[in-house]
Structure 1
């Protein structure tokens, strides 16, 4: 049995289910976290408040929190993660899978150690285009030249969408080195939690009737998430007996609240933790993701598992989950008129909307941690065969 070392930046709810699935599939692995951020309450600058996840993040798989030796520790900057222990840990493994992203020093410590010790090196990316959230012109010019070299460091590359397969292949990486690993939520957990929800009771607590059509926005209230697009489109659509719920927080909250004044169909529920979300999604009908930069958007997975149809912009990686007219709709990012038309069409036809939610749940049967981990296993097999 090959020994697999997995390197991740910090514990988050979206990757722990993958590691548990690896154990279930018989992997011999060790997960090394470069930072403990996420295990305790921390100040999330983008939400604008302290966040403490309420689900176990280290249970069900072997994990180790490494000492971060960075003089400037933290996420979001190159020297924020610097874990010298990785050099020896990589040497002791047969193959390495790195989830940190190439924007951290720890990634390069692991990559250099893998090359020095002739170990297989695999890394993941959730990007599906060369676009960047922070639109620095020099970055846009540099990426097409730099990324072919960066991706060339990996013996195999894990990508979360088929759009990403094309992006990485377009950089000159051989297709047999690219493995599609669907970006997945913990399907079993979400389905089980949703089955326990009394949707009528949840709606009653919101003051929303059982026959109302409910659309949810669940994300950080940041400019690139474009929450104001949904509010404007919802108000323009003006569908009777329809409601809009905002889940989250961030710097645009005050603007959104001001724009929603006088419209009692729009509710702001604040940040809701993982254990609260199944009830919200199960009692809703539709989730909307308006982002102009969204590598994937796992909230769409979660909502679809709870029976919500999905409306997403054409900049979101999760558009791959949407079958237009069957499980939701895809619209041009920033086109409020197009989004208005979609909402008017869907929110005005509740039976169709509920049927769409059932189809969305069924769609997720083949997009789960099982498929993700199986594909990662294929990537490992290729690397070991080539070594």
Structure 2
């Protein structure tokens, strides 16, 4: 990474032009300035160089790179990459970093910028490059999603070198192995901190599961342990990402076997969801469960983090008009979702990862991104600004009755999704 790559990726004149367009199209100076603060945040505060000078994206107030978060953090900048080569260079470099890290440890979700050994003391992982080894299938799906979108927007293929191909093969093989987690997986995760969601039961193997055709995940996108091992939005997103990989393998890498394997596995995951992940609700009809175990247990809820059930159309997993999605949306945006909260300042989806009655700006932004109504999108943009607690930036979560009570003073992923909503609302994405 050249010393000036970050500054070159988003020069002041480019940001000024984009803010002016946002202000003009919304008719709101307030929205324009809120966009400026959040859009500049990731570039200014989270882009670093690793110990070999390659781009590295920390999650924000935690000095580690999450494969999932870093993909979402860069999503609002993809539009600029179409015509601005330095931004394209930066994103291509980050994609390269993501796939290189997958080859370091394919079960890890977060990594250190250098082999410092930082992370959680007591975790049974002795690689100093790894911050955390919580296995989450979104750690594979999001980098594939980012790479595919980047290629489609820019035509760039230089990110898809030997490390990309090696990581892609690992992804397919590991997702397939974890279809039979009980019999075949050697992965275990134990963290002795006395918090149930921070560790896996049965000595780190996790709660029992039966074979469904879906692939197992130890943890959710929130980094909380799954209640049941088959996370339905994660499997639908993994199936979508595998189809993206099949296209990349065919058109860029020239590996038809990889393409065929990815396409076949995508079909198996999607079929597993159809057979086991859709359940009948007495009031809403057929809906997507959030998690199942293949043994008859089902969890009906949604979590604020992506991939969520709410986010499925925006991630390209289902159509916005899909009747099962529409029924699911009605359920999860209601008190029937145990993590849907309504208060005097806001209403929306929160997470067991944060205190009760805390709504997440990520979920509010996703609610807007999956709405076909411009007025609803504008309402949510205004709501997000109104609930920033006076900080000018987005948080992880905030109290639905008192937005000055929040977790994390600023959260890069939330800032990114806020900007993405504005860009799509104004047709500037």
TM-score range for the pair, normalised by the shorter chain length? under 0.3
Higher-helix-fraction structure: 2
TM-score, with length taken from structure 1: 0.25
Bigger radius of gyration: 1
Higher-strand-fraction structure: 1
TM-score, with length taken from structure 2: 0.24
